Chains A and B, each alone.
Chain A
């Protein structure tokens, strides 16, 4: 059986997006978006309200950070994890590999509402997945280049599988946080 690798790789993430992640994010409220399930979470916050060592972003909202990462790392909120997927997973990679707009954590305009963040997530997913769909067999075999640092010589196929893994991993966290929010003990 001839395998359409481009389809197979695209479908791994598309299936997760269509059947798991995106339906389970529908109706996300601002209260869930900013919910801190434990003390001292990292979050997206209105500018000037962060107590983290670093608070970056270009708009009215900033994201909590520290370099190097504290040990143990703080638990992060749905807002923080969505920003990580939007900027670090889809945005920077779409910019490097598929002609997407330049994006980084420092300059990104973080969403102050769940609806705005869902729009950013949808845009990011679309840009990345259309880029992947546009790769042919030769494109999957092409080295992924300097943007990927020590992985420069590795094939694009490996980067696609990595982005799939990252998105599935962090998407699962978003789903679980929503489940916990739904069942949390009321304050």
Chain B
């Protein structure tokens, strides 16, 4: 059987996106988006309100970061993880490889490997966002 690899690679993430991740993000409330499940979280915050070592971004909201990563790294919120997916996982790579708006140490690897990596990253962080929503739904109301 000949394998349509483009279809297979696309389908791995598309099936996840269509059937798991995107449906489970529908109706995301602002309270969930900014919810901090434990003390000391990194979040997306209104400019000037961050206490993280660095707070970056161009608009009214900034994202908490530090270089190098603290060990152990802080737990991050749904807002922070979505920002990571949007900017780090998809945005930079779209810019580099598909003529999107904006360097990669993967330059000698085949595109296949990068696609499988991006799928893996997105599935991993998508799962975290879903679990945070589940925990928010079932949390003890404070």
A residues within 8 Å of B by Cβ?
1, 3, 5, 8-9, 11-12, 15-16, 20, 37-40, 72-75, 140-143, 155, 157-158, 161-162, 164-165, 168-173, 175-177, 179-180, 182-185
Assess the B123–A3 pair: CB atoms within 8 A: no
User: Which size class do B's interface residues fall under?
Assistant: 35 or more
Q: Does B112 count as interface, using CB distance less than 8 angstroms?
A: yes
Given contacts A172-B127, A180-B75, contact A16 B120 (CB under 8 A): yes
A177 CB to closest chain B CB (Å) equals: 7
Given contacts A169-B124, A176-B132, A183-B40, contact A12 B3 (CB under 8 A): no
Assess the B120–A176 pair: CB atoms within 8 A: no
B residues within 8 Å of A by Cβ?
1-3, 5, 8-9, 11-12, 15-16, 20, 37-40, 72-75, 110, 112-113, 116-117, 119-120, 123-128, 131-132, 134-135, 137-140
A157, A165, A180: the one within 8 Å of B38 (CB): A180
**Closest A-chain residue to B131, C-beta based?**
A173
A184 surroundings in chain B (CB, below 8 A): 38
Max count, chain A CB within 10 A of own CB: residue among B120, B125, B132:
B120
Report how far A143 CA is from B117 CA in the complex, Å: 25
Report how far A6 CA is from B127 CA in the complex, Å: 25
Assess the A72–B16 pair: CB atoms within 8 A: no
B3 surroundings in chain A (CB, below 8 A): 5, 140-141, 155, 157
Report how far A15 CA is from B124 CA in the complex, Å: 12
Report how far A104 CA is from B134 CA in the complex, Å: 26
B1, B15, B16: the one within 8 Å of A155 (CB): B1
- With A5-B3, A12-B117, A165-B16 already in contact, 19 other A-B pairs whose C-beta atoms are closer than 8 Å: A1-B110, A8-B113, A11-B113, A12-B116, A15-B120, A37-B135, A72-B138, A74-B138, A75-B134, A75-B135, A161-B9, A164-B120, A172-B126, A176-B132, A177-B131, A183-B38, A183-B39, A183-B40, A185-B39
